[in-house]
Amino acid sequence: MVSTACMWTNQTDNDLLPSRPNLSAPAILGINFGQSYASIAVIDKEGHPTCIANEEGERQIACAISYAGEQVYIGNGAIPHLVKNGKNTIMGFRNLLGHTYDEVDHTAILTAPLLSTSTTPAYTVDILIPPPKQATPASRSAAASGTATPAPQEPIPSTKTLTVPEVTSLFLSTLLQSATDFLGVKPKACVVSAPTWFTPAQTDALRKSAEDAGISVLQVLDEAAAVLVGYREGNAGEEENRDKRVVVLDMGETSLGVSVIQASEGEYTVLAKGRDDKLGGREFDNLLLKHFAKEFTKKTKVALDLPCGESASVIDKRAEAKLRIAVEHTKRSLSASSGAATCAVESLKEGMDLSSAINRLRFDGLASSVYRQVGAKLTSVVQSAGLDLVQIDEILLAGASTLFPGLQQHLSLLVAPTTPVTAAIDPSQVIAVGCALQALHLSTLQDGLKAEDVLATAKTTVDTTSAPIGIVIPGQEGDNLAAVVVDSGAPLPVRRRVAIPVSSASKVVLELWEGKHEVKVEKVERAPIEKDEEDEDDEDDEEEEDEEIKTPITVKTKALGAVEVSVSKEGNLLLEVIVQRGGGLQVRAWEEGKEESADKFEV
């Protein structure tokens, strides 16, 4: 009885999909399973991860299931049913995974109600069961002439109870089907994303549901980790700074997640993380709703106050539902193109049409309060890690809501001017792409390793360096480290090699010091004499004319030792620092090409 919303499009769309199984590319799937939207990515023929569209041509697949009579709509097709058939539409089920009924907040749910009788959260929906096949009479002549013609049988109204894991399985199986249709074969390896704040119980529940859906799950990966893998953080090349502090800012439809990560040569340790489950793309929707409702009232003199509350009239609710769908489209065009985005709804209320447009500037003005909230959340999470915003080396964006250029601009103003705000891979796809890449990494292990063994080595916490270790050149001015070799927060054991050019034959000494990250605050000349310490109020920047320049520095705290090398000619001096698992230190230094005659010390 399950039929997806795309039932009638299957026939035509399948022709567009590659029907021939592609044997050269590994059948690998990455699933970004969000609260509101999901996306899937596979490894294409060239070996690159790509986010693919489902049969409906959607890359962002709504996590919604709607039961309407005999039909079941899964995905974006279920969204319109939210209005007229809300109590049979299931949405927002992911976050309930692994919870009991008592643990979840069941009052705020506007869709299908949760059953209070079951410990596992469960929904009850009204369905129609198709009538049983009518038994055909044995022979025509045998029918008694007196009997009445049997009435055509009606579908029987019934109810269906679905638990949250069942709903999840049902939804994930449609994602698997889309990927299988695209690849031509069933994916053999899959990584599913889970929110940063999921508890182990919730992760296990998600894994179980995915396996019930027939997906071979290699790993349930943290969304922030998926973003890091998706952007290939720390693996880009040798030119790049190997030890970086990055912020992963994931703003989806319903919530905002911020993680501060130490990426030390591609190994990711978590310094801090925070979440705001009220701040999401829905806020932008509401702003646009309000804006267009005002416009509508102004133009047509028909009163419309959106978003409307529970007690609003049916007409208003219908208008909201219509406008919400239109606004979703407007929002996408705003983030995609630089021109004005239109919003047109026929017969929004009382037979009057809405046709309006909004440009980016206007929208950024509307949304500035949301931008500020995002900035404030970012600042607070960074501070909770004991860091300042200038010490952040990069901001990685994820989630469709971060696509707004206004938001990206706002974020880049918060951090140091040299800090990039990266959206190089479409933020709405990066999690799925990261999951696919991680699945690829795990399924192409060398040296006969198995993915389970590799993942088994993962512990919840690992020992890391507690302070940066760097070089001090004897005779140098100041208290700073000349260069940091091993940054703090690097998982042990860690090894770093650096080369230092030497211009002429000489005897050189390098001291190894432990350091401490600090922020140096300098006032620009124009600033009035005003001795305030660390000004954390970012919004005041515009009002105050004075500017302060913050620079991250590393102050030397403790000498660890020194190495001495006599260099015979112009070339490179190589320095290797290894911090062992227990915290022991090994330092070697040698002239390039003369590794055997290295000067070393060990602690």
Partner 1 sequence: MATVVTLPLKLTTPPGGYSKPSVSKPSAPSSLPLYPAGPSFISAARREILQRTFEQDDAEITASREAAKAAQQDASDGNPFPGLGEEEEDSHVLAQDPKEWKKQDHYAVLGLGHLRYKASEDHIRVAHRRKVLRHHPDKKAAAKGANDDSFFKCIQKAHETLTHSERRKQFDSVDWNIEDEIPDFKDLASNPDEFCKIATQVFAREGRFSKVQPVPEFGDANSSKKEVEGFYDFFYNFDSWRSFEWHDKEVNEGSDSRDDKRFTEKKNKSERTRRKKEDNTRLRTLVDTVLAVDPRIKRIKAEEKAARDAKKKGVANGGPAKPLTPAEKKKLEDEKKKAEEAKKAEEKKANEASKGEREAAKKAKEAARKNLKKWKKAVSTVIASSNYFLPAGTAPSASTIEKQLAELDLLVDILEPEDVKDLKEKVEKAGSGEPAKAAIKEKVASVQSKPEAEGKFSEFA
258 and 273 Cβ atoms separated by less than 8 Å: yes
Site string for partner 1, 251-280 (x = CB under 8 A): ----------xx--xxxxxxx---------
CB of 420 to partner 1, least distance (A): 19
**Between residues 239 and 534, which has the closer beta carbon with respect to partner 1?**
239
* 41 belongs to the binding site for partner 1 (CB under 8 A): no
| CA nearest neighbour of 511 among 542, 550, 480, 532 | 480
CA 581-585-587 angle, to 5 degrees, is 135
> Residue 105: phi, psi to the nearest 5?
-85, 100
**Which region among 21-29, 87-95, 205-213, 581-589 touches partner 1 (by CB under 8 A)?**
581-589
CB of 477 to partner 1, least distance (A): 12
**Between residues 408 and 443, which has the closer beta carbon with respect to partner 1?**
443
Site string for partner 1, 170-209 (x = CB under 8 A): ----------------------------------------
CA distance 488 to 464: 7
561 and 511 Cβ atoms separated by less than 8 Å: yes
* 89 belongs to the binding site for partner 1 (CB under 8 A): no
**Between residues 303 and 455, which has the closer beta carbon with respect to partner 1?**
455
Which of helix, strand or coil describes residue 340? coil
CA distance 436 to 554: 37
| CA nearest neighbour of 494 among 592, 394, 586, 562 | 586
- Is the backbone of residue 32 left (phi > 0), alpha (psi -120 to 50) or beta? beta
**Which region among 122-130, 139-147, 460-468, 536-544 touches partner 1 (by CB under 8 A)?**
460-468
CB of 305 to partner 1, least distance (A): 45
DSSP tag of 331? H
**Between residues 372 and 558, which has the closer beta carbon with respect to partner 1?**
558
CA distance 396 to 425: 10
CB of 58 to partner 1, least distance (A): 27
CB of 20 to partner 1, least distance (A): 25
CA distance 69 to 383: 52
**Between residues 284 and 590, which has the closer beta carbon with respect to partner 1?**
590
CA distance 455 to 396: 25
**Which region among 85-93, 114-122, 363-371, 457-465 touches partner 1 (by CB under 8 A)?**
457-465
**Between residues 36 and 193, which has the closer beta carbon with respect to partner 1?**
193
* 319 belongs to the binding site for partner 1 (CB under 8 A): no
CB of 428 to partner 1, least distance (A): 20
Q: Which CA distances in Å does 316 have to 300, 323, 326?
A: 15, 10, 15
* 416 belongs to the binding site for partner 1 (CB under 8 A): no
- Is the backbone of residue 350 left (phi > 0), alpha (psi -120 to 50) or beta? left
CB of 226 to partner 1, least distance (A): 7
Paired strand residues for 125? 160
**Between residues 169 and 422, which has the closer beta carbon with respect to partner 1?**
422
Where is 117: in which H helix or E strand? none
Write out the binding residues for partner 1, residues 417-456 only, by CB under 8 A.
434, 438, 441-442, 445-447, 449, 453-455
188 and 26 Cβ atoms separated by less than 8 Å: yes
Write out the binding residues for partner 1, residues 326-355 only, by CB under 8 A.
none
**Which region among 351-359, 371-379, 468-476, 536-544 touches partner 1 (by CB under 8 A)?**
468-476
* 561 belongs to the binding site for partner 1 (CB under 8 A): yes
**Which region among 117-125, 229-237, 370-378, 388-396 touches partner 1 (by CB under 8 A)?**
229-237
* 460 belongs to the binding site for partner 1 (CB under 8 A): yes
Quote the strand ranges of 141-231, DSSP E.
156-163, 189-194, 217-222
- Residue 153 burial by CB count (10 A; 0-12/13-18/19+): exposed, middle or buried? exposed
Number of residues near partner 1 (by CB under 8 A): 90
Write out the binding residues for partner 1, residues 519-558 only, by CB under 8 A.
558
199 and 98 Cβ atoms separated by less than 8 Å: yes
Sole binder of partner 1 in the list 21, 559, 568, 570 (CB under 8 A): 559
- Residue 269 burial by CB count (10 A; 0-12/13-18/19+): exposed, middle or buried? middle
**Euclidean distance between the first and final Cα of the chain, in Å?**
70
* 579 belongs to the binding site for partner 1 (CB under 8 A): yes
Sole binder of partner 1 in the list 219, 330, 391, 422 (CB under 8 A): 219
Write out the binding residues for partner 1, residues 470-499 only, by CB under 8 A.
471, 473-475, 482-483, 488-489, 491-493, 495-499
Sole binder of partner 1 in the list 41, 62, 78, 229 (CB under 8 A): 229
**Hey, what amino acid is at 10?**
N
Site string for partner 1, 231-250 (x = CB under 8 A): --xxx--x---x--------
CA distance 490 to 81: 50
CB of 426 to partner 1, least distance (A): 20
Write out the binding residues for partner 1, residues 277-316 only, by CB under 8 A.
none
CA distance 386 to 94: 32
* 571 belongs to the binding site for partner 1 (CB under 8 A): no
CA distance 557 to 577: 18
Sole binder of partner 1 in the list 42, 246, 433, 585 (CB under 8 A): 585
Neighbours of 44 (CB within 10 A): 15
